[in-house]
Amino acid sequence: MLRQISRDVRVNLKDRLRDVRHVIRQSRHDGDATALREATSHLPPFPGKGIEGLLSHAASAVDEALSIAEQLVPHERPAKVDGTTVKSLATYFPSGDDDRQAGGERLFRRDMYYLTKAVLAGMKIDNARIHEANFAAVHAAMRKRHAGLLVAVEQGSDAAIRLPSIAAACSALLVECLNHRPIRFAETMPESPADLRENDRDLDIRSLAPLALACGLATIGKDGLPEPDMLEIAVMAAGIRHDRIVQASAKADPISELAPVLATLLAHLP
């Protein structure tokens, strides 16, 4: 119990520090002026002329100091983030004792964090914040609510027989990601709050659907080891079927609606 609390505290602290770093980078003196205005729009105007410039230079110094510190502290991150980073569902949700399950959870939130960064970079989105704690919540929800789907994934050796189970588990994974929203996009100026929710939902699906699809491809493992371009393939495939995925995810039973969509993609992708 205490170990679980300690792990949760560490993950949340890491997310908060990343949020602070995000604001600091937006406030750099050599950064984007629009991003700086957005980052400080909620603050009252500074009383002294030129104080904003001093603070922006201070933010730049802090950002550079943090960059140096990152190089000195060992990080648990993939050597390279591409299609080979994605693991199978059995790796992320292993059976066995608490240590094995904790290892799967740690690997899942780490991989999902860096894979999400890679997907967002491909979408030219560089001002979103990704929270590992939300991916940890996704992992816990999969264990609690969809244990039967995870068990079914490992039943049978033939990929064609396992395909419906894998598609259903990946659909559940996508639904839980959409429910827990591990990505926070920069605020926009929509005409109404409803427009904001709809826009964020669309971005969530574009960013997260490729991850669920890539996990399915890694689980099928048609060609043995995952290929470097597997994530790129998942992004392209999810983009092609984006409208159908959006429609299915909005249904009363989204997992049942999404499963045949993902199954068709998994069956035809290399």
In terms of domains, do 86 and 70 share one? no
Same domain, 51 and 178: no
Under a CB-based contact definition with an 8 Å cutoff, are residues 133 and 11 in contact?
yes
Domain membership of residue 27 as a residue range: 1-75
Same domain, yes or no, for 131 and 159?
Answer: yes
Do 169 and 187 lie in one domain? The reply is yes
- 44, 75, 106 — which closes off a domain? 75
Residues 31 and 106 in one domain: no
The verdict on 150 and 246 lying in the same domain is yes
- Classify residue 166 by burial, with Cβ atoms within 10 Å: 0-12, 13-18, 19+: buried
- Mark whether 45 and 135 lie in a shared domain: no
Instruction: Specify the pLDDT at position 240.
Output: 95
The pLDDT tens digits along the chain (270 residues) read 445 556 676 677 676 666 665 565 555 445 555 544 554 555 555 454 454 454 454 545 544 554 544 454 445 667 788 899 999 999 999 988 889 999 999 999 999 999 999 999 999 998 899 999 999 999 999 999 999 999 999 887 777 789 999 999 999 999 999 999 999 987 544 444 455 456 788 999 999 999 999 999 999 986 556 788 999 999 999 999 999 999 999 999 999 999 999 999 999 987
Domains identified in the chain, total number: 2
**H helices present in the chain, as ranges:** 2-26, 33-39, 51-72, 89-92, 98-122, 132-145, 147-153, 159-180, 193-220, 230-240, 242-249, 254-268
